[in-house]
Amino acid sequence: MNTLSPVITIDGPTASGKGTVAHRVATALGWGVLDSGALYRLTALSVLQHEIDPEDSQAVARAGQQLEVSFHPQGVALFGREVSEVIRQEHVGNLASRLAPNPALRQALLERQRAFRIAPGLVADGRDMGTIVFKDASLKIFLVADARARAERRCKQLIDKGISANLDDLVADMRERDARDIERAVAPLVPAPDAHVVDSSQLTIEQTVQNVLDLWSRVLPTPPAKV
Ligand code: C5P
């Protein structure tokens, strides 16, 4: 019998709303959440801070291995310093996406991600949660939205934070990042064969969350019939 805690994976391209949906689904179920992209962003930040050559795959993997990270309800600290805002910046996300194809880095982050699987359950979002990290997940979602809808959401988020943003640049940037994630040899961005593809282009966050919760209620084990 599999005694591991249940996992719901939510994979998909940049800015498809995975993070928000994952947090809300986790809150609704009273489960923990793993934002795996944050680990790639934290590695990128560490590479910048320690002036590591992004092309030096072993040094980058070591940086991933040696991250001293603590996730807390308000955000995340790296080596004891609050970095929740800085890791969301576009240049950090772009570097994360350039580092992510490195197999040694992906291997270095694997066990760290799996350690998040604790009772009563985990909602994990990323690119390879359902295909590699939690292959045995109880429910796998592949969340998509068209590039324009995603760029509009990202643009609004940045402007709300007082950061200037250009929609066309964001669309171009997003397409480039998606292409890198889809085309890489290791852990490419693809739906797991048993994933449910959910298109959120025309859905509100609430509708998307409900969609996932409905799918989850269908995979819950049926209690034995009373006789
Ligand atoms: O999801 P987020 O945009 O924060 O992720 C930053 C980058 O990290 C992505 O562009 C992607 O290249 C990489 N990533 C990954 N595998 C994951 C999560 C993120 O390769 N599971």
Task: Kindly report the CATH number assigned to the domain that includes residue 31.
Answer: 3.40.50.300
151 in a structural domain: yes
Q: Give the pLDDT band (50/70/90) at residue 1.
A: very low
208 in a structural domain: no
123 in a structural domain: yes
Mean pLDDT of 188-201: 95
Q: What is the pTM of this model?
A: 0.92
Residue 102 φ/ψ, nearest 5 degrees: -70, 110
Provide the residue range defining the domain that includes 156.
7-203
Nearest-CA residue for ligand 1 atom 4 is 37
- 223 pLDDT exceeds 80? no
* pLDDT number for residue 159: 87
Q: Is 196 helix (H, G, I), strand (E, B) or coil?
A: strand
* pLDDT number for residue 197: 97
Mean pLDDT of 64-77: 93
54 in a structural domain: yes
Nearest-CA residue for ligand 1 atom 1 is 37
Please give the Cα distance from 7 to 121 (Å, whole number): 6
* Average pLDDT of every residue of the chain: 93
Separation of CA 223 and ligand 1 centre (Å): 37
213 in a structural domain: no
Q: Give the pLDDT band (50/70/90) at residue 45.
A: very high
Mean pLDDT of 175-197: 94
> Of 97, 110, 123, 133, which is best to mutate to test ligand 1, by the most ligand atoms within 8 angstroms of its C-beta?
97
End-to-end CA distance of the chain: 25
Share of the chain above pLDDT 90, in %: 75
Q: Which atom of ligand 1 lies closest to the CA of 133?
A: 21
215 in a structural domain: no
Q: Is the alpha carbon torsion for 101, 105, 111, 115 positive or negative?
A: negative
* pLDDT number for residue 173: 87
* pLDDT number for residue 99: 97
Q: How many domains does the chain have?
A: 1
126 lines ligand 1 (CB under 6 A): yes
Mean pLDDT of 211-220: 94
93 in a structural domain: yes
1 in a structural domain: no
* pLDDT number for residue 53: 98
Q: Which of 2, 3, 7, 1 is nearest to 137 (CA)?
A: 7
* pLDDT number for residue 225: 64
Higher per-residue confidence, 190 vs 2 = 190
Mean pLDDT of 72-95: 92
Q: Which long-range contacts (CB under 8 A, 24 or more apart) does 188-194 make?
A: 188/128, 189/11, 189/12, 189/13, 189/127, 189/128, 190/131, 191/11, 191/130, 191/140, 191/142, 192/9, 192/11, 192/130, 192/131, 192/135, 192/140, 192/142, 194/130, 194/140
153 lines ligand 1 (CB under 6 A): no
Higher per-residue confidence, 223 vs 75 = 75
Q: What is the pLDDT of residues 93-131, one digit of tens each?
A: 999 999 999 999 999 999 999 999 999 999 999 999 999
